[in-house]
Copies of this chain bind each other. A is one copy, B any other.
């Protein structure tokens, strides 16, 4: 691993929050085993093996399934060292141990990586109450919080409150299959107060092909991971209308600006610079040039809005729902409730198009809208 690992190794006794005691080794569990969860386990396992401040072994909680062959998924993972169902062909590291028992998977860990689909986090947290170490630190890699009128329901806050532990986040331009193939990528860690904790997460995830930058802004970083999907819908409309490069770049820029202003509206602590990080501008670019929100929105616009998102989702995503449409509606409700719709013309227009109130071409009618947030 070269210089990176050596540096970490040498400094490890001073870097972590939990490893100030000489000889203390952090234990890591990954909760979730989809494609992104498996990649996260791979990144983490590479480092626990190479850094003396971590126990080698990484537990990965797997929602048990029986494969077509009749073998249990956990057995197949532990036998082949691959997640044969959700990330086939990628070795996770021999020190990754799949465990179907959630309580057992977390009980010794002081570092918990949450990376499940967002709709499962409720039940997982509830079943973990009282089961995790009181000195544990958590990090959420889960995108897709709810934005309610009373405020944003950060998944990191939910984990924190349910389990009584601190929770950071990791977000960024992270298409899982590209990281699995060790193509260069980067991510942002959002942390609350303790820089040492952030450094420990950075250590745990950084590899020569995965660069991680810490930012003291949990809310901004986590919100980016959700709001970008609304921008991706707008970008898809532009694609479907064949509006060209200038228009798409303009719409992405407006979206990034509205993301920033919306985050600051919900949390005054959010920092402008967060949107220059991987979780901001880079993730928006990745999502708008190839994400599924953009692709389905493109199809919606090509059909002139005559086929609903429900119908297109059923056809193109095998019934999975597009996060951007849902988040767009939630954001719209928040803005309407606060009387701020006209300050967010892009967000407002996306929902009005998705709900059939406006045609897709409305996405580029800006001439009569105010030039908002002037410098």
Contacts and interface: CB of A to CB of B under 8 A. Distances in A.
Interface of A: 2-4, 173-175, 178-179, 181, 183-186, 207-209, 211, 213-216, 243-250, 252-253, 256-257, 260, 271-278, 281-283, 285-286, 289-290, 364, 366-368, 371, 374-375
A273 B215 contact: no
Contacts of A290: 245
Given A282-B252, A289-B289, A173 B209 contact: no
Given A184-B366, A256-B281, A371 B276 contact: no
A50 to B, nearest CB: 13
Q: State the copy count for this chain.
A: 2
Contacts of A2: 367-368
Contacts of A246: 173-175, 178-179, 183-186, 286
A177 B103 CA distance: 61
Contact of A244 (B3, B175, B216, B282): B175
A262 B211 CA distance: 22
B183 A243 contact: yes
Nearest to A368: B3
Could you say which of A250, A256, A364 has the most chain B C-beta atoms within 10 Å of its C-beta? A250
A298 to B, nearest CB: 15
A291 B39 CA distance: 33
Contacts of A175: 244-246
B245 A184 contact: no
B286 A184 contact: no
Contact of A250 (B211, B250, B275, B366): B211
A245 B292 CA distance: 13
